[in-house]
Amino acid sequence: MAKCRVLLVDDEPIFLKSMSKVLGARDYEVETAEDGTAALKRMAEQEFDVVVLDQRMPGMDGLTTLEHIQRDFPVVPVILLTGHAEMDTAVEAMERGAVDYLLKPAAVEKLCERLHAALERKAVLKEMLKR
Amino acid sequence: MKALPLSPEGPRPARNGVRRAVSLLLDFLEIIGLHEKTQPFESRLESLRLRYLQFRDALSANNEILALITDLEVRLQERRPTGPTSVKAKAVAALTAAQRMVNALNGLSDERYPSLRLALKRIERRLATCFGGAAEPPEALEWVLPLSRLDRSLAPWVGHKMANLGEVRNRLGLPVPEGFVVTARAFRAVVDSAVGADFLLDSGAAAPDEDLERLGRALRAQLAAAEIPRAVEAAILDAHSSLLRSAGPSSRVAVRSSALMEDSELSFAGQFETLLNVTPDELLDAYRRVLASLYEPRGISYRGMFGVEERDLAVAVGVMAMVEADCAGVAYSRDPVEPGSTDVILHAARGLGTALVEGRVPPEELTVHRESGAIRRRSAPDSRAADSPPLLSDHEAATIASWVVRMEQHFGMPQDAEWARDREGKLWILQARPLVFSQPVRPARLPPEGTRMRLEGGETAVPGAGSGPVARVGPDTDLASFPLGAVLVSAHSSPAYVRALRGASAVVTEVGSVAGHMASVAREIGVPALLGVPRAMDLLAEGEIVTVDAGARKIYAGRVEEVLTERPGPACRPEGEGIRLLTDVSRYVVPLSLTDPRSAGFTPLACSTVHDVARYCHEKLFEEMFGINRLVGDARRQAPLLDVFLPVDLYVIDLGGGLASPRGSRRVRRSDVASPLFASLLDGMLHRGIPRGGPRALSARGFFQVVLRHGVTAPEGDASLREPCYALVSDRYLNLAARVGYHFSAVDAYCGDFLNENYISFRFKGGAADRQRRERRVRAIAEILKALGFTVRSVNDLVDAHFQKQPREVLLATLDRIGRLLQFMRQMDAAMESEAWVERVVSAFLQEDYALERGGAEGQKGTAHAAPPGASGRGGAPDL
């Protein structure tokens, strides 16, 4: 089975570094982007299986980035991972098609479980869209 | 955030790309289906698989909601200290999980339930009102704030300790040394930069003690060496220079924690480091050290004991001009041991006061009359020569007493203050927090004639009595292995002993006072404590059994039942903002009003809580999944019935690789089951040693009835008992679940390509029997699961068990056992008449004596249950 390719989007470089390490140790292939614009650029260059997205970022915020991803890459699942619990953002993100909205600190196990679910879903969607 | 426009028929959420794509595709498939009988087989399968994945996602969200509900219930029941941050996180988690369920249900039903979105929106708006929607004050965005700007409204950002001191200084006008606070926002910035992915902190939350210790050590090291973000560092240094300019000649400061939950619902007494006489060069290191002390083992234990979540922790740090104290102490506006008394209690000791609160020196104690300020009693510490002058003059004592009484009036609750007198004779308030009281304890009765007294004296810190073997502890004792139920005896009291306190039956120290940190913590936990008993370490032998009557200040030889009245309960604590929020939030999450799916009120718009939404979705998900047979073939076709000798109608829904039988079979046999997980479970359920319920027609009392328990005592008349149950199976996945009324049980298992994906979850909730039977049953199930290697958590009537990261063979063998357990529960339930049966049932299961044939006599093959003593004559109808 090929490795799951994750795109981590967060404006905090230290978070990106340590999160990459944690996920890398669990056999994920991780790429990072420090804002929404960079994320969309990376996605145009290569295919990702799942995107993990921060909400509060300078420039394009998580919700707006989510909207762009949904439009341009409709099969790629997006998980919001944010440090700030906001009820309206959570509901809005889920309404707009995020597969989950997790809060930092999130247990690594839980995140991996959600990544795995997102990956399976993407595989099926991709097959369906092929036809 | 703008709300989504809602049409009268229901919300029209902005459809995202995926949903649009899927929906178009499904529409397309349907259209094709209308015009042509033969759809491409693969399309149908993918669409089915997508639905299965959505279904699985909804099930996992449902589990999350059940766990959240239980957590909220327990926190409220036990009044567990909970901070606003984690309450909000729980509210968001509940909403998100409900939204996942709604999305999944609508996804797999082609948006058949739009009004569920409306119901959820309504719940969201109500939940949002719990948090007031008030904007954060500008202070919330600062890295540091001077004491002159603080008052108690800022506690969520600067901690109660500094907020209270600001209140005392700025609103009451009492003398408080100059200072500033480094805010919780700064803490989070430092932690983010030091530990990076802050989610790491949470990964140890459920870990055993040793892991926590290791994790704690790593986090301390990281924090102690943390790079403080430049903006934070500049703000601290800037505030420090202004403090030095205004504070006079001394260039030294005190650096102390002001954590968010500290000094409010919980005292956190002595759990954080306080650094005195800190020079300018040492300031940043001192700041880091206070932050790092958050992860000392004693602090981790303390938080674990009260169920405090890491999410609620943030350490603001106070930096205060150092008071060159020649005398310091504490002041209680009420007697902490006698809540009814009106006197003010003062403790004083020479020097800085740290030795006093850490329990290293005996204090001078004064009892001051509340109104007149007259000294009613003054007890000198033993070490002080009888002719030396008292530490505090009558006038000073009266002044401090009047201050602490004013503070009580201002804050509206009894106060526990720290004060100091500087070399010029000026008095200062250094700390103000709510006083923790011991719960009143019935006075102990007298011991019988001839009971041998071992020791006498000391001071009652927490009244009540406890008995056990003496365990002496010192600075080098390994507290993690403190024997449960022992009497902790030590030379000094120390907040580090918290780790042992939770298992101790009583505490005795040679030195220490009710003003100390350990006394505060003992009161919070409710451990009888007798402090200041001279030579206790010498006179009490390790391991000797004693009975400590802390209230009567006596220690007896042996176990003296007569004096062992009730142990004190945990202290009465003030209730914080968190508990109020928790109560509000629970109102929109926990209650379940949709109980009967057959009633007319079972509609999306009747959902007024997250639990309702989950309940509704769960019900409809099974209906919808049942309906997906439409996509498999004939629209009216039902899932195949499993043709096995079990007292239940068990239908199998194949999600891919689950069955080897031809598609469309109405009945499948055991041999048709291709899913290895389902096959193993079935083999367990069909185990020959387990008595079955007789022919199906005669008995609807299958194992499911027991597992689910329908809450009726006359099952024959209840249609719900013949409700079918479904097993969803694929080559690697099995979900066998059912829910009726309030009761729910599920086996969820996955066996994939990676070892760390493999798991079995077993969950059991509910049962309409009396509390005692339910409690016994939960205990027996939990014990059996533990013996099978599960990690088990049981809270109230929820058993939540996990088994993971095991190789395939082990996983399948364990599923076989779970199958047996599902069947065996029937015997178990009938047996739960008395306490003795708990152990009996557990050992019978483990010894494969499933018919409960004590002594291995010939079993009555085919009978529904064994009859334990006292079993009713209702023919074995389980009564859960």
Whether residue B837 is predicted with pLDDT greater than 80 in this model: the reply is yes
Put simply, whether B18 touches A (Cβ < 8 Å) is yes
Which is higher by pLDDT, A4 or B570?
A: A4
Q: Contact B83/B311 with Cβ under 8 angstroms?
A: yes
Least confident of B78-82, B662-666, B685-689, B865-869: B865-869
**Dist. CA B757–CA B804, nearest whole Å:** 8
Q: How many CB atoms neighbour CB B353 within 10 A?
A: 27
pLDDT for residue B755: 63
Coil, strand or helix at B11: strand
- Share the mean pLDDT of chain B: 78
**A91: nearest CB among B46, B56, B95:** B95
Over residues B70-96, the pLDDT tens digits come to: 888 888 877 777 888 889 899 999 999
- Residue B691: which pLDDT band, with cuts at 50, 70 and 90? confident
Contacts of A17 (CB under 8 A, 6+ apart): B196
**Rounded CA gap, A21 and A19, in Å?**
5
At residue B663, does pLDDT exceed 70?
Answer: no
Query: Does the pLDDT of residue B547 top 80, yes or no?
Result: yes
3-state secondary structure of B707: helix
Of B53, B198, B311, the CB nearest to A124: B53
Q: Which residues share a beta bridge with B760? A: B749, B803
Residue B111: φ, ψ to 5°: 60, 45
Residues in chain B closer than 8 A to A94 (CB atoms):
96, 99-100, 103
Is the CB of residue A119 less than 8 Å away from at least one CB of chain B? no
- Residue A105 to residue B756, Cβ atoms within 8 A: no
pLDDT (0 to 100) of residue B222: 80
Which two structure tokens, joined as six digits, stand for B842? 């557990």
Residues of A in contact with B103 (CB under 8 A): 94
Please state, in angstroms and rounded to a whole number, the distance separating the CA atoms of residues B441 and B541.
Answer: 28
pLDDT tens digit sequence for B496-517: 787 788 789 999 998 877 777 7
Cβ <8 Å between B96 and A96: no
Chain A: residue whose CA lies nearest to B309: A105
Candidates B612, B653, B603; CA nearest to B633 is B653
Please state at what angle helix B577-587 crosses helix B41-77, rounded to 10 degrees.
140
Residue B2 pLDDT exceeds 70: no
Q: What is the mean pLDDT of residues B275-297?
A: 90
Average pLDDT for B417-438? 89
> Using CB atoms and an 8 Å cut-off, which of residues 733-762 of chain B contact chain A?
753-754, 756-757
CB B566 within 8 A of CB B463: no
Q: Contact A125/B95, CB-based, under 8 Å? A: no
Distance of alpha carbon B254 from alpha carbon B322, whole angstroms: 5
Span B633-637, mean pLDDT?
36
Provide the ipTM: 0.93
Residue B203 in tokens = 């990964």
Enumerate the H helices of B643-708 as residue ranges. Answer: 676-685, 703-708
Rounded distance between C-alpha atoms, residue B172 and residue B770, angstroms: 54
Q: Do A18 and B195 touch (CB under 8 A)?
A: yes
Quick one: pLDDT at residue B59?
A: 78
What span, in angstroms and rounded, lies between the C-alpha atoms of B166 and B360?
29
**Across A103-107, B272-276, B643-647, B721-725, least confident range:** B721-725
Distance CA A115, CA B166 (A): 47
Is the pLDDT reported for residue B625 higher than 80?
no
pLDDT at B344 over 60: yes
Residues in chain B: 880
pLDDT tens, chain A, 131 aa long: 578 899 999 988 777 887 888 888 888 999 999 999 999 999 999 999 999 999 888 889 999 999 999 999 989 999 999 877 788 888 889 988 899 999 877 777 888 888 988 888 888 888 787 76
B810 vs B255, B609, B784, B788, B819, CA distance in Å?
54, 40, 17, 11, 14
Token pair 């403790």 is at which residue? B347
Segments in chain A forming alpha helices (H) = 13-25, 36-45, 62-72, 87-95, 108-130
pLDDT band at B204 (very low <50, low <70, confident <90, very high): very low
Place B412 in a pLDDT band, splitting at 50, 70 and 90: confident
Cβ(B617)–Cβ(B62) under 8 Å? yes
Residue B294 has pLDDT above 70, yes or no: yes
- Confidence tier at B696 by pLDDT (50, 70, 90): very low
Q: What is the mean pLDDT of residues B524-534?
A: 87
Average pLDDT over residues B386-407: 87
Q: pTM of this prediction?
A: 0.61
Residue B575 is predicted with a pLDDT of 64
Nearest to B85 by CA among B295, B317, B261, B268: B261
**In the predicted structure, residue B695 carries a pLDDT above the cut 60:** no
Name the more confident of B180 and B858: B180
Task: Report CB contact under 8 Å: B53, A128.
Answer: no
pLDDT tens-digit readout, B5-37: 333 333 444 446 666 676 666 656 555 544 444
**What one-character-per-residue DSSP string does B429-478 give?**
EEEEEEPPBPPP-PPPPPPPTTPPEEEE--EEEE-SEEEEEEEEE-TT--
Express as a percent the part of chain B with pLDDT over 70: 76
Cross-chain Cβ contact B4/A95 below 8 Å: yes
Rounded average pLDDT over B675-701: 71
Other Cβ atoms closer than 10 A to B475:
9
Question: Nearest CA of chain A to the CA of B51: how many Å?
Answer: 10
pLDDT tens for B468-489 read: 999 999 888 888 788 888 999 9
Residue of B567, B384, B112, B47 lying closest to A127 (CA atoms): B47
Tell me whether residues A15 and B20 touch, CB distance under 8 A: no
Per the model's pLDDT, the better-predicted residue between B8 and B65 turns out to be B65
pLDDT at residue B206 tops 50: no
- Taking a contact as any Cβ pair under 8 Å apart, which residues of chain B between 127 and 146 contact chain A? 127-128, 131
What's the whole-number mean pLDDT along residues B560-578? 70
* Whole-number Å distance between alpha carbons of B613 and B428: 56
pLDDT category, B425, cuts 50, 70, 90?
very high
